[in-house]
């Protein structure tokens, strides 16, 4: 998933999650850290910190009985905003006498349950347990002796966090509704009763019944260019964790990029999406060259309506993308590289729990940057690394020490609170640090082997440490110390040895900026978006109204079509009360729900009493078109 933008400033997702509230400890800078763990680790003279793999964010009893395959049969009702039908699980017993299957659910209505024993389906009892505000409600299904399968008949709630029912006016075409899911980290349970933990994987098949004029898709091997029949079949031959279960239904057009890659978008968006994302075929080629063969059947990309709260979501074989990255000049396509990279890091090799999120997002941010370097050149890749590093620097002071640790402590916490810049950019810097120390050839071979050895498996930070010690550190002695690795994984903040590349282009921007503020004219016609963003991110505090007006005129800021530049510019405009940009603030906040772009603008507004009042008025208008996750975050900022 891509939560925060490549650009400045600190537009990471706030730690506070509305469901669980904002714990005071979240804001504390004096939380205990993992230094005690480090000490005992060193005393043991062993690289591994022994902790059992326990997923704190699931009720599932997958240590007793697993569900290696599921079949879904669902009807999509746009009027009621409900999915209804059944899910069927094949069972694999780890403890022979297990008499209950425990599934995760949240806000689901369970109609009845059945078990398949000796060739027959028969009614079986179920029980819903006590609801937990973060985890939802455990569903216990009785297993008669010898039960081979279980069926749960159910329907979802119109309020399901994991489903966005977009009204026609929220789509590009304006005529048809749109439905899409967001299951990461723990929202699959809001639309499927499931063992909702990344420690487990399953294959699946499915049948969706939709209004006949719409196309239904899933995170699966979608048949190319589907006909509008209203009944769609899917199959995922590859085992996936539950958070990658995905569904989308809308008025969609199809464009093949090659035999195994295509783009889906609303008809009026398709052409610009193809122009912007057509280069994904090149990205695919370089990623396979660098890190090994693509392990899935297809790689399709789906452009969602602008309410999608994130940049992208790496649903397997069908990446979900925000339309806000279509800038017309491929300036924001690091997002495309990011979601593609997840086909290796995250989807193929998966974090065992949300404590290990950095394994997904850090490796993905690293591979993303390597793809950008291979396709767009070293300088652009370095600029993107530098802008990310600046975002991380800006984000760190507002995060608690606990949140600054890669192997994050999450007991009693919402797993969504782990999605800060830390598992992305700090972890990316850790991997570049390793690359520097071991050399690119050695490190590339290690990463390639890592993806191959753990393909279609989930692993913990501790398992990764073991593997790294055996495959990288011991065969190449004297490159990194144990203390350095421990500091990266278990200490807050950034180590002093964090790599910080020199970017010549940004040096030139800094010099040009000095001349510009001295009143000279500078030629920025050849500047990339990254150079413009760097200029904006490094303005002096006391920039004047005249200078802002001149900047706006010469850089085309208020009316830019680049949403990353726009978001950053509007924050500056609000902070300096630059009135000519104000009409664009409302327009922007109402037109999209991407958190990375809108949250920083809401925060800037909320910094003054008048701004807060204005922000609340704008939010009241924008709210109906926002995703429930966007609403939660914005309401948190606005104190609603």
Could you give the residue numbers annotated as active site?
339
DSSP 549: H
What is the number of the residue whose Cβ is closest to Zn ion?
Answer: 1
Between 164 and 361, name the residue whose CB sits nearer to Zn ion.
361
Instruction: Between 361 and 462, name the residue whose CB sits nearer to Zn ion.
Output: 361
Residue 339, helix vs strand vs coil: helix
Which residue, 1 or 220, has its beta carbon nearer to Zn ion? 1
Specify the residue, 454 or 555, whose C-beta has the smaller distance to Zn ion: 454
19 within 8 A of 632, measured Cβ to Cβ: yes
C-alpha angle 563/566/569, rounded to 5°?
A: 155
Question: Residue 340 CB, nearest distance to Zn ion (Å)?
Answer: 11
Structure tokens at 426: 């700090």
Q: In a 3-state reduction of DSSP, which class is residue 610? A: helix
State the DSSP string of 405-468. -SS---TTS-GGGG-SHIIIIIHHHHHHHHHHHH-HHHHHHHHHHHHHHTTTEEE-HHHHHHHH
Residue number with CB closer to Zn ion (356 or 361) = 361
Provide the minimum distance between the beta carbon of 547 and Zn ion in the complex, in angstroms, as a whole number.
37
Going by DSSP bridges, is the β-strand pair 299-303/261-265 parallel, antiparallel, or unpaired? parallel
Residue 342 CB, shortest distance to Zn ion, in Å, is 6
- Shortest Å distance, C-beta 627 to Zn ion: 17
Q: Which residue ranges make up the site for Zn ion (CB under 5 A)?
A: 1, 361, 364
Report d(CA 506, CA 517) in Å as an integer: 16
Q: What is the DSSP letter of 103?
A: E
The torsion region of residue 427 among left (phi > 0), alpha (psi -120 to 50) and beta comes to: alpha
Q: How far is the CB of 523 from Zn ion (least distance, A)?
A: 37
Sequence-distant (6+) residues with CB within 8 A of 409 are 34, 355, 402
With a CB cutoff of 8 Å and minimum separation 6, the contacts of 622 are 589, 590, 593
Please say whether the beta carbons of 250 and 266 come within 8 A.
yes
**How far is it, in rounded angstroms, from Cα 513 to Cα 537?**
11
Q: How far is the CB of 358 from Zn ion (least distance, A)?
A: 11
CB closer to Zn ion, 202 vs 359: 359
Q: How far apart are CA 68 and CA 321, in angstroms?
A: 29
**Spatial separation of the C-alpha atoms in residues 329 and 311, rounded to whole Å:** 17
Which of residues 368 and 636 has its CB atom nearest to Zn ion in the complex?
368
| CA neighbor of 536 nearest in space, from 61, 115, 9 | 9
d(CA 385, CA 2): 15
Give me the sheet containing 253-256, strands edge to edge: 253-256, 261-265, 299-303, 318-321, 312-313
Query: 1 or 13, CB closer to Zn ion?
Result: 1
């Amino acid at each position: 998933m891509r939560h925060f933008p490549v650009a400045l400033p600190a537009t990471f997702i706030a730690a506070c999650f509305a469901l669980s509230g904002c714990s005071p400890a979240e804001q504390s800078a004096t939380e205990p850290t993992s230094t005690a763990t480090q000490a005992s680790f060193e005393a043991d003279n062993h690289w591994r910190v022994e902790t059992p793999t326990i997923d704190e964010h699931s009720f599932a009893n997958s240590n007793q009985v697993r569900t290696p395959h599921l079949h879904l049969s669902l009807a999509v009702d746009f009027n009621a905003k409900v999915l209804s039908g059944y899910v069927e699980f094949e069972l694999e017993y780890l403890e022979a006498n297990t008499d209950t299957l425990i599934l995760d659910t949240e806000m689901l209505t369970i109609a009845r349950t059945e078990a398949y024993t000796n060739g027959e389906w028969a009614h079986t009892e179920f029980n819903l347990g006590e609801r937990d505000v973060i985890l939802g409600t455990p569903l216990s299904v009785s297993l008669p002796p010898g039960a081979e399968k279980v069926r749960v008949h159910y329907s979802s709630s119109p309020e399901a966090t994991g489903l966005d029912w977009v009204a026609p006016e929220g789509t590009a075409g304006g005529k048809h509704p749109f439905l899409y899911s967001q299951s990461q980290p723990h929202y699959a349970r809001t639309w499927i009763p499931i063992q909702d933990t990344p420690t487990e994987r399953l294959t699946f098949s499915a049948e969706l019944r939709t209004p006949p004029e719409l196309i239904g898709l899933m995170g699966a091997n979608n048949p190319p260019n589907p006909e509008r029949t209203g009944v769609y079949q899917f199959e995922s031959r590859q085992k996936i964790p539950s958070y990658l279960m995905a569904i989308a239904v809308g008025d969609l057009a199809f464009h093949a990029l090659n035999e195994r890659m295509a783009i889906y978008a609303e008809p009026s968006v398709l052409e610009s999406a193809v122009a912007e994302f057509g280069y994904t075929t090149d990205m695919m080629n370089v990623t396979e060259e660098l890190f090994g063969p693509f392990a899935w059947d297809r790689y399709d990309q789906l452009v969602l309506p602008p309410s999608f709260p994130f940049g992208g979501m790496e649903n397997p074989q069908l990446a979900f993308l925000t339309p806000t990255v279509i800038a017309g000049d491929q300036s924001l396509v690091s997002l495309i590289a990011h979601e593609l990279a997840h086909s290796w890091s995250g989807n193929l090799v998966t974090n065992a729990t949300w404590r290990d999120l950095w394994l997904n997002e850090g490796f993905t941010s690293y591979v993303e940057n390597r793809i950008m370097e291979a396709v767009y050149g070293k300088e652009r890749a370095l600029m993107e690394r530098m802008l990310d590093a600046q975002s991380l620097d800006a984000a760190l002071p507002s995060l608690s020490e606990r949140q600054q640790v890669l192997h994050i402590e999450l007991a009693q916490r919402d797993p969504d609170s782990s999605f800060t810049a830390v598992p992305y950019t700090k972890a990316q810097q850790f991997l570049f640090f390793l690359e520097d120390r071991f050399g690119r050839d050695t490190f590339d071979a290690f990463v390639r082997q890592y993806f191959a050895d753990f393909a279609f498996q989930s692993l913990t930070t501790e398992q990764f440490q073991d593997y790294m010690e055996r495959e990288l550190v011991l065969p190449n002695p004297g490159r990194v110390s144990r203390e350095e690795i421990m500091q990266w994984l278990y200490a807050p903040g950034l180590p002093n040895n964090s790599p910080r590349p020199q970017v010549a282009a940004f040096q030139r921007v800094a010099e040009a900026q000095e001349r510009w503020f001295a009143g000279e004219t500078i030629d920025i016609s050849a500047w990339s978006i990254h150079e413009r963003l760097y200029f904006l991110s490094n303005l002096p505090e006391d920039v004047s109204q005249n200078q802002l007006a001149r900047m706006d005129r010469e850089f085309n800021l208020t009316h830019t079509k680049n949403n990353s530049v726009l978001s950053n510019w509007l924050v500056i405009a609000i902070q300096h009360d630059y009135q000519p940009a104000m009409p664009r603030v409302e327009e922007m906040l109402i037109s999209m729900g991407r958190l990375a772009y809108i949250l920083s603008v809401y925060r800037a507004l909320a910094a003054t009493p008048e701004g807060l009042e204005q922000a609340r008025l704008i939010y009241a208008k924008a709210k109906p078109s926002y995703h429930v996750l966007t609403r939660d975050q914005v309401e948190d900022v606005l104190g609603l």
